[in-house]
Amino acid sequence: MKSVTIYSAVMVDDSAPLSVHEMACLCEQQIDWVVTLVREGFVGVERDVIIAETSPERWLFASAAAARARQIARAQRDFEVNLEAAALMVDLMEEVRQLRTQLEVYQR
C-alpha cells in the first residue's frame, strides 16, 4: 500500500498580511507567544500601530515578520532555549548573512 502525504501552503506577502491567529498557526505556537514576540520587540507589526493601545486581534504581519517569527520558533525548539536567546540567535544569523553579502560585493 502506498502512503500519501498532503502538504498545504499559505502564500504570505505584503499585499496579504497575516493576522495574529495565522501567525501563531504558522509558527506552531500559541497566540500569547506571538504577543510576547511583538511586545518584546522581536517582531514588528504592519503599519503605524501603537502596540500598547491596540488589541492583538487587529495586528497584521508582513512576510518578513512571519519568516523571522518562524526562525525564532525553530531556534527555540531545536536548541531548547528561551525566547530571548532564540531571538538573539536569529539576529546573529541575520548579521552573518549580511556580512557575507558585503564580503562578496567587496571581493568582486
pLDDT at 14: 62
Architecture of the domain whose range is 18-107: Orthogonal Bundle (1.10)
pLDDT at 52: 74
- The model carries a pTM of 0.82
pLDDT at 16: 83
pLDDT in tens, the chain (108 residues): 788 887 766 666 667 899 999 999 999 999 999 999 999 999 999 877 778 788 999 999 999 999 999 999 999 999 999 999 999 999 999 999 999 999 999 998
Q: What residue segments make up the domains of the chain, in order of their start? A: 18-107
d(CA 33, CA 74): 13
Task: Give the burial string for 26-48 (b: 16+ CB within 10 Å, else e).
Answer: bbebeeebbbebbeeebbbbeee
d(CA 61, CA 83): 19
